[in-house]
Structures are given as C-alpha cells and as structure tokens.
Amino acid sequence: MKSASRRRAQRGLSKIPVLSAAALAAIFAAGLAALLVNIAERKQEAKVTTTRLVEVTQDTTDPAKWGVNWPKQYDAYKLTAQPTRTRFGGHGGSEALPQEKIDRDPWLKRMFLGYAFSIDYRDRRGHAYMLVDQENTQRQTKPQTGSCLHCHGSVIPLYRELGGGDVIKGFETTYKIPYKELNKKLHDMGHAQTVSCPDCHDAQTMKLIVTRPAFLIGIQKLAASQASTPFAPSIERWRATDKSRPYDPNADATRNEMRTFVCAQCHIEYYCSSAMPLTAPWGKGLNVDQIEMFWNETKMPDGGRFFDYKHAETGAPILKAQHPEFELWSQGVHARSGVACADCHMPYARDGATKVSDHWVRSPLLNISRACQPCHRMSEDEIKTRVDLIQTRNNELLQRGGVAITALMDAVLAAKQDGASDAQLAPALELQRKAQWRLDFIAAENSMGFHAPQEAARALAEAIDYARQGELAALRRGAAKVAEARN
C-alpha cells in the first residue's frame, strides 16, 4: 500500500516541472505575441502620422488651420511666444517689448546715427512676435519700405497678387511701396500672420520648400560664382552640369540642405531700403570680405556708390549688416560637418511612436540634451562651459571694437573742428566703413560668434585694427591742419 502511494506521489511530483515549463512557455508565447502586435501597431502608427481633417493650401497662412492636421508641430510652434533667454541673447522678461540693445551698449546707438536703428534696436524675441514687433518698433516713426515685410510676415500670397500670379515680380515691386501701406494690404487680405507653415512646407506633400524670393535669387548668384560652398554639395553638383538652368534649391538641394535653407531664407544679410529691391549680396561668396566686395561693386540706381546710410556725425558711407546667421554659419565647423540649422534649433523629438522636428525654435542652450548631446558625448555643464567661453571671448572683442569705433568717430569730429575737410578725411572715413561693417556683422549676428568662432574673432580683430587705423589717420589730419593754421 505504501509503495503504491509513494509511486503515485512521485508521478504527481514529476508532472510539476512539465506543467511549469508549459505554463512558462504559454506566458512567453503570449508576451511575444503581444510584443509583435505592439510593434506592428507602432509601425502602422508611424506610417500614418497625420489624418487630414481640413484642407490647406499655400494660401492658408493661418497656422491654426494647419494645426488641425499637424497638432504636435503646432503645439510646439505656439511655444515660440514663450520668453526665452540665454546669457548673450533673447528676451526673458514679461514686458511688452524686449530690452533695447542701444541702451545696454550705447556705442551701438552712436554707430547707427543717421539710420533708424539708432532710434530703436532691441533684443530678439521668438518667431511668434516677428510681425508684431516690426509693426510696433519706433523705427516706424521714419519712412520704411515695404521690402521689410519680406521676412516678417507670411507674404507669399501678397507677392502673388502684386505680381499677377508671379511671386518674384510681386516681390520686386514692394520696395517702392511704403511699409505701412503694404502692411495694411497684408491685413486686408487676411494674411497678417508671422512666418507660418506654408513659408517652409508644401501644403500637399509637406516637404520643405524655400519661398523667399531674395534667397532664391541670392543662392542662384552664389551658385554661379566661384566661391567655395562645402556646406552645400548640391551646388557643386549643379556646377558640374551644363548650367542650362539656374540653381534651384527646391529642385536641386538635398533634404538635409533644405533643413538649413528654410531658415536661411530669412536669417541672412541683405539690403532693405527704398532705392532698389531687397538684395542678398552673395555674388562673390558668403564671408564678410566677399560680401563687402559685392557691396563695393554695387551701384545705386543713380550710378553712385552703394551704401546703406551716411553716418550723421562723420559723413562716412556706411554698410549696415542685418542678421547674417546663415553667412557666419557657412564659415564654421558645423556647416562643414553637415549639421543643419534644424539639427540644433529644431532637433528631433519622440512623441509616442513618431519622431517629429521640434517646432519650438530656440537656442540650443535651452535644449542641450536633444540639440547638442546626440553628437557631443559630454555633460551639459561641459557643453555650457565651452559655449560660454567662446561667446565671452567674442563679446569681449566686440566691446573692444565698440571702444575703438567710438575713438575713431571722436578723432574725425576733432579733426573737423580743426578745419579738416571731408576730402582730407576720406581715408579715415573709408576705414570707418570697413571697421564698422565688420563690427556690425558680428554684433547683428545672433550667435555671439558661436556659429563660426574663429571667423567671428577674425572679423572683430580686423574691425578693431581698421578702427584704430582710422583714428590715427584722423588724428594725423587734424594735427596737420593745426600746424597749417599756426604757420
């Protein structure tokens, strides 16, 4: 009896490992099946990132309508209204308008005498304020050209109407129209939006597009030049063709290049006034010397020498830099490494199963983990320290340049008081033009030299050198006039 019971118990015990193994296998199979189903669902979700609930076209300038179809991007886009600040840039307060640069750095105000920037020149704000800040600037107390809307509003439908369907022709008329008149027309048409979705995206395919005429014309001139363009291999490939048609970024550029070009169509140096259409000066190349050469060879419509304004104190014919982020970036290591603007200012982010480009356009310093660390395998503190060192050194050079340009202007005024004529002071005034161009090129550019640190330092060093040369030239002329009077 005991033997039979023992055998039955042993048989029962021997079944336990088998049952346990079967149970584990069933659990594993169920888990694996669930995982595979989840992966399949995620893949399908990733394939269908949007469902079009409303139709949009290139004339749909209200971003909220695009936001119905692409809510993730629109939610991020709205965050550009948030105040952001880094040590050397941005707007961090809650006041109606950001701080005046010309109050913080008075040498800027004096440098711009004779130009509207001496009236009002403020820190930048996010894209949400691009149009309203332009409408509210005190510079509007002086006559402004309609060309100024080129980069501050969603203007392509307006250009199309002005040109009878031809955007380029419409754009080429705007410099003749006062800003307030053209801005009113933009409002009346219902397109008074800051730069919006159709300015960078094709409404049907959502692919990136360049829409700004000045960029399209300027990049054609750059491609047709002999300037090196290591940041844009597509230009080199176009140059190897028969060039039967002009270079067209929308047809020739790679998607990675377009992730820079859609930003560069506005973040550039340009002429913007009422004498001729808004112009991107790239016919010689993109660095500070090549652009200076382009402007020096440009004639005003009356045949006279090109200048943006004449300095109110010295009379020097000044070149005014706007915001040459694209130009300075093109000279840096990031550009040569294939790093696009969007990689740093609109880095990819995960949202569920989808990967989206972050449309909260801002400084990489406010988003280091996604903007910098995918490439730079170091701590956030180390990255911040390195960037701060670059920007601090450039700022110190910039401030020294401000002291030098002020000394030059003082010397010119003193020489004039001693009786020196404009003709006698021409060498000093020419050096003011050269010095101020380089100083303003870095002051107006919004990275405090980070986009190309060595190139920025070179430009500032030359600015200081030319300013001191100009100061000495004026002092010598003044001393000569005093000696002549005594004799």
Percentage of residues in the chain having pLDDT higher than 90: 79
Q: What phi and psi values does residue 420 have, to the nearest 5 degrees?
A: -70, 140
pLDDT per position as a tens digit, 37-76: 777 766 665 555 567 899 999 999 999 999 999 999 999 9
Q: pLDDT for 156-191, tens place per residue?
A: 999 999 999 999 999 999 999 999 999 999 999 999
List 354's β-bridge partners, or say none.
Answer: 351
Question: 329-349: string of b/e by CB count within 10 Å (b at 16+)?
Answer: bbbbebbeeebbbbbbbbbeb
Q: What digits encode the pLDDT tens for the residues 381-414? A: 999 999 999 999 999 999 999 999 999 999 999 9
pLDDT at position 12 over 70: no
Q: What is the pLDDT of residue 94?
A: 44
Nearest to 344 by CA among 327, 332, 331, 357: 357
**CB 261, CB 340: distance < 8 Å:** no
pLDDT at 48: 52
> Residue ranges of the alpha helices (H) in 206-253?
213-224, 233-239, 249-252
pTM assigned to the model: 0.87
Q: What is the pLDDT of residue 80?
A: 94
pLDDT score for 336: 96
Residue 362: what residue type?
R
The reported pLDDT for the residue numbered 93 is: 45
Range 299-326 average pLDDT: 96
Per residue in 258-291, pLDDT (tens digit) is 999 999 999 999 999 999 999 999 999 999 999 9
C-alpha distance from residue 417 to each of 48, 173, 430, 477 (Å): 74, 44, 19, 11
Residue 354: is its pLDDT beyond 90? no
Give the pLDDT band of residue 4 (cuts 50, 70, 90): low
* pLDDT for 305: 96
Q: What's the average model confidence in pLDDT over 4-25?
A: 63
Q: Is the pLDDT of residue 6 over 80?
A: no
How far from the centroid of its chain's Cα atoms is residue 39's Cα?
A: 39
Provide φ and ψ at 251, rounded to 5°: -105, -30
What is the reported pLDDT for 223?
98
What digits encode the pLDDT tens for the residues 105-125?
999 999 999 999 899 888 888
- At residue 114, the pLDDT reads 95
Helices (H), 48-123: 63-69, 71-78, 101-104, 106-111
The per-residue pLDDT for 352 is: 80
